[in-house]
Amino acid sequence: MGTVYAALTDDGARVAVKVIHPVQAGDPEFRARFRREVRLSARVQGPFLLPLLAADPDADAPWLATAYAPGPTLAQHLAAHGPLSEGTLYAFATGTAQALAAIHAAGVVHRDVKPQNVLLTPAGPRVLDFGIAHAADGTSVTRTGILTGTPGWISPEHYRDGVTAAEGDLFAWGALVAHAATGRLPFGSGAPEAVAYRVLSGEPDLDGVPDALREILERALAKEPAERPDAAEAADTCARLLAAQSTQLLADDKAVEEGDALPSAGELVTALWSVPAPEDPSWPVPAPVPAAKPSRRRAVVAVVVAAAVVGAAVGGLLAFRQDGSGGDSAAGAGTTASRGAGGSGAGGSGAGAARSPSGVSDAEATGPAVTDPRAVPVPADPLAGVADPAFTRADDEAQPVPGEWGASRYATGAAERKAAADIVDEVTAMLTTKDMSFMEPTVTFNRRAQTVMVTGGPISTLTDDYKEVFRRASEMAACTTLAHRLKDAPSSWPYGRFSVYWKDYDGQDEATILGFGRATTGCYSEEAGQRQGTDEGIVTAELPSSDRDEIRVAGDTVEAITAAWDTRVAEGHGLEPFDHDDAITLGFDPVDKMVYVWALDGSGVLSGRAQQSHFQDVVTTTACPRLLAEYKRDKRWNYTHWTVAAYQGNSAWPQLFTSGDCLPAESRP
């Protein structure tokens, strides 16, 4: 949604300021949702929450400020220290349930209860992020038909009917406490569809949860909403369990006499809470600024400080580049690296050992050299017509199973080392164009599973959108590399499956799986042999590029398309101009090697098929000559495929009109 800054008020108090991304701020639907978020958040008061202090949803750059609390998220704590136990676990369950009770009492539903949205502060847990909260009365500006929340933390009724209510928060709370107690995801990991199936029809994994907590968690995780307790009942039950823990602990220390009254639940949470103290360095005080007229838009003076707020503020993370500096990458401002730059190594063990050099020499490369690798097609069915291939799982749709990653090993032999090096180089080349090359992949092999593993991490401050780009890049690099190997050596190359993992800490026994697939079913999204744009692709294309050639081509092409559209409008044809000058944007998806051109069409200029056809014609006749000129000039330039799209009305999601290829049919691989 934007960037969260560490900041100081005029009197020196620490706060966290969420500043909305300009793309979101320009969307009227999002502004309406954000304005509502501010209004609802102001209604929520209670313990174990971070209060809203100030906000301006109507500013050019909308923002809100909450109290600041130091500490890691639950996800970060589990990765670094393992599960919660004893009094701390009961205090966590009590505090988070009381936070939800306060949220629900204000008529609000959180809708995104998960480990990343709970801080473990020195004073107890704090529930964060009302970024997608809405009133429980059923009115909402959220579009229908869109699934909100995070897989594994979504209730069965939301999967079935799209229902978002307080009962769904309790389901997620039950999963959250179970996760805190065991360190495991109660419904497992894997593809979102697989997790959804387990939520809908499977039983949660509660092994290791203390018996005293199991009953309330089992009720909270009931498939039917009516069978779950409300947040107040869950908080009361957990407070009683916490009091029992307190009585036992205090009695052991002979610090309580018979008849003594126990402290309140809030005091008990603080008394029994025990987590490692977070690093909390002092914040630099800004230099005095000249006096100015009072303004509600200047309630805080934002001061970015390195690392102090990462993971410790409302709902977002300040993404750090490799040099350790924070902030969003702007076009042309990030570090530029040439395409095709290889990684520094290709090895890696599933259990988290250090990376090793690939050690691949030119003599070890397999297959003939080609003048232009772009002319070599990726085999869509590399084993077609092969009677007895070494890869025997081409028709096996089973998901990866626990243990496969931990049993994987470094590459051995020239063929495996070359494949590992190719995958690392491809992933690095794709990530470099988005200033993400710090996410260095490691590649390992599991011969028994006939699977190649690509692993990233550990990077504790990384946001989910970065991991999504890593997943897509790793899947594409592994798929294309394996497809070529299967085509070139079907009787000897045994690997046709690939899995992408994220390692949360060194020495991890089982990394988190991000995605998987087979190289025998095609690597690109295609219809009738024509590569198609995707929702995932345009999301990646919207990320700022750090490649100078991409920035140059994008700027020149957008300017030319805008001028060509204005000319087309002036000629007649029943067309209207866009409602602002910078309505047209172009971005690159290095994963699918696709150029996306889209318009922010708030006034419905492209509402009809005829108008869309005109826009597509203007885009292709203007962009293709420029893309082809770059393709001929630079053999590293991969972009000839295009997709045309538009954000229509107040929609936060694009409509993809059509896709195509600038290369003539006879020149395509």
**Active site residues per annotation:** 112
Cis peptide, bond prior to residue 379, ω within 30 of zero: no
Q: Which two tokens stand for residue 630?
A: 């770059």
Residue 429 CB coordination number (10 Å): 22
Q: How far apart are CA 464 and CA 514, in angstroms?
A: 11
Strand-pairing partners, residue 589, are 594
Nearest-10 crossing angle of helices 211-220, 86-105: 30
Q: How far apart are CA 411 and CA 452, in angstroms?
A: 10
- One DSSP character per residue, 411-470 reads --HHHHHHHHHHHHHHHHHHHHTTT-TTS--EEEEETTTTEEEEEE---TT--HHHHHHH
Helix or strand holding residue 301 (H, E): strand 301-302
Nearest to 18 by CA among 28, 30, 7, 5: 5
Helix or strand holding residue 543 (H, E): none
Q: How far apart are CA 76 and CA 276, in angstroms?
A: 12
Strand-pairing partners, residue 126, are 119
Vertex 661, ends 655 and 664: CA angle to 5°? Answer: 155
Nearest to 213 by CA among 242, 185, 170: 242
Cis peptide, bond prior to residue 458, ω within 30 of zero: yes
> What is the Cα 190 distance to its own chain's centre?
15
Q: Are 501 and 190 in contact (CB under 8 A)?
A: no
Residue 474 CB coordination number (10 Å): 32
Q: Would you put residue 340 in left (φ > 0), alpha (ψ -120 to 50) or beta?
A: left
Q: How far apart are CA 230 and CA 97, in angstroms?
A: 9
Strand-pairing partners, residue 108, are 135
Q: Are 419 and 481 in contact (CB under 8 A)?
A: yes
Q: Which two tokens stand for residue 473?
A: 């890049």
Q: Is 661 exposed, middle or buried (0-12, 13-18, 19+ CB in 10 A)?
A: middle
Instruction: Round to the nearest angstrom and report the end-to-end CA distance of the chain.
Output: 39
Cα distances (Å, whole numbers) of residue 282 to 14, 15, 225: 10, 13, 46
What is the pairing mode between strands 512-518 and 526-527? unpaired
DSSP-based three-state secondary structure for 28: helix
Phi, psi at residue 486, to the nearest 5°? Answer: -65, -40
Q: How far apart are CA 544 and CA 587, in angstroms?
A: 8
Dihedral sign for Cα atoms in the order 217, 111, 130, 3 = positive
SS3 for 481-506 is HHHHHHHHCCCCCCCCEEEEEECCCC
Q: How far apart are CA 517 and CA 231, in angstroms?
A: 40
Vertex 94, ends 93 and 100: CA angle to 5°? Answer: 90
Q: Would you put residue 391 in left (φ > 0), alpha (ψ -120 to 50) or beta?
A: beta
